[in-house]
Amino acid sequence: MNAHMTHLQALESEAIHVMREVAAELSNPVLLFSGGKDSIVLLRLAEKAFRPGRFPFPLMHVDTGHNFPEVIEFRDRRVAELGERLIVASVQESIDRGRVVEEFAPPHPRASRNRLQTTTLLDAIEEHSFDAAFGGARRDEERARAKERIFSFRDDFGGWDPKNQRPELWNIYNGRIRRGESVRVFPLSNWTELDVWEYIAVENLEVPSIYFAHEREVFQRDGMLYAMCEHMQLIDGEQPFRASVRYRTVGDMSCTGAVRSTAADLGSVVAEIAATRVTERGETRADDRVSEAAMEDRKVAGYF
């Protein structure tokens, strides 16, 4: 590695290498793009890896139907700017077709479609015969993520076995798979949340407005602040109130909490993240609080 290369440049170089390796080794990749910060960075890395040509893969979003409208607006605009193809895999369609059943339908107080995404994702991978899917997961997010390799091999049911993964020595990746198998690829594995925000600042990338402090009507539940919306119903004793908040992660509105913040620009967000000691999933994602092994259980079943 060049002695003059900065930390971010080294991470960028590794991620671009991973992306080009997948394009060379696998025949039909896809890049998951939700409009969130990690997938925004993936898009920039793809630009650096493949421009001025088109990306050698489409983009795909597994849409729960309960996303923040600001994020969906940003997603569509960004894809249009890039001139790339977006596939929207709809959880609502999975429900309509009877592929999945909602445990609690909105506006039930505990309604969440987040766990239903796995079936929608696996169906879309099968429908389009994707053999590799890029995701923005990072090892610092959650304990189960820390077990993950950059190339994460999945069986023909989309399942993940942490004991059946391949060694990755000296940035050499073995992408050979049998028919029906697929690979999840995580170019940002070695990045931290702070790295992501510093890269967004250095590259001056646009992100959805909800990542910055804004006043919003919220309510408190299980120690988290949720946005008032048509997908959520208050439980006895809960009261809505207005607060200055921002989001560290942009998942489903029914399971993604906000944090109190006054960080209204990139510099302030970077400073705030540098001072925090809690991961964004640990602080703001109810779906990871279900049990000690919530994320691992979902990954084994085929989730990212």
The per-residue DSSP string of the chain comes to: --TT--HHHHHHHHHHHHHHHHHHH-SSEEEE--SSHHHHHHHHHHHHHHTTSPPSS-EEEEE-S-S-HHHHHHHHHHHHHHT--EEEEEHHHHHHTTS---SS-TTSTT---GGGHHHHHHHHHHHHT-SEEE----TTS-HHHHT--SEEEE-TT--B-TTS-----TT-------TT-EEEE-TTTT--HHHHHHHHHHHT----GGGS-EEEEEEEETTEEEE--TT--PPTT---EEEEEE-SS---TTTB-BEE----SHHHHHHHHHH--S-HHHHHBGGGSSSTTHHHHHHHHT--
Q: Is it the case that residue 189 has pLDDT exceeding 80?
A: yes
Same domain, 149 and 215: no
* Contact in structure between 240 and 234 (CB atoms under 8 Å): yes
Instruction: In whole angstroms, give the CA distance from residue 282 to residue 219.
Output: 19
Q: Are residues 128 and 63 in the same domain?
A: yes
pLDDT for residue 290: 46
Same domain, yes or no, for 153 and 238?
Answer: no
- 79-123 pLDDT, tens per residue? 999 999 999 988 888 878 878 777 766 556 566 667 778 888 888
CB 124 within 8 A of CB 60: yes
- Structure token digits, residue 56: 């050698």
pLDDT at 255: 78
Clarify whether residues 107 and 124 are in a common domain.
Answer: yes
Q: What is the pLDDT of residue 106?
A: 58
* pLDDT at res. 51: 94
Asked if 236 and 89 sit in the same domain, the reply is: no
State how far the Cα of 94 lies from the Cα of 154, in Å rounded to an integer: 22
* 188 & 233 share domain: no
pLDDT of residue 116: 77
pLDDT of 299 above 50: no
Handedness of CA 82, 36, 303, 218 (dihedral sign): negative
Q: In terms of domains, do 165 and 270 share one?
A: no
Is the residue at 2 inside a domain? no
Domain tally, the chain: 2
Q: For residue 158, what are the domain limits? A: 7-195+293-301
What is the CB neighbour count within 10 angstroms for residue 104? 13
Do 158 and 227 share a structural domain? no
Least-confidence region, from 18-27, 52-61, 126-135, 154-163: 154-163
Residue 177 is predicted with a pLDDT of 52
68 within domain boundaries: yes
Q: Is residue 1 part of a domain?
A: no
Q: Are residues 191 and 219 in the same domain?
A: no
User: Could you tell me the two tokens for 222?
Assistant: 């299980």
- Whether 226 is covered by a domain: the verdict is yes
User: Are residues 215 and 177 both part of a single domain?
Assistant: no
Is 204 a domain residue?
no
Looking at the fold, whether 216 and 179 belong to one and the same domain comes out as no
Contact 287, 251 (CB under 8 A): yes
More confident residue, 37 or 153: 37
Q: What is the pLDDT of residue 121?
A: 85
CA distance 275 to 271: 6
Q: How far apart (Å, rounded) are the C-alpha atoms in residues 297 and 282?
A: 16
Please give the angle made by the CA atoms of 193, 194 and 195, to the nearest 5 degrees.
90
The reply to whether 118 falls in a domain is yes
Q: What is the mean pLDDT of residues 178-188?
A: 75
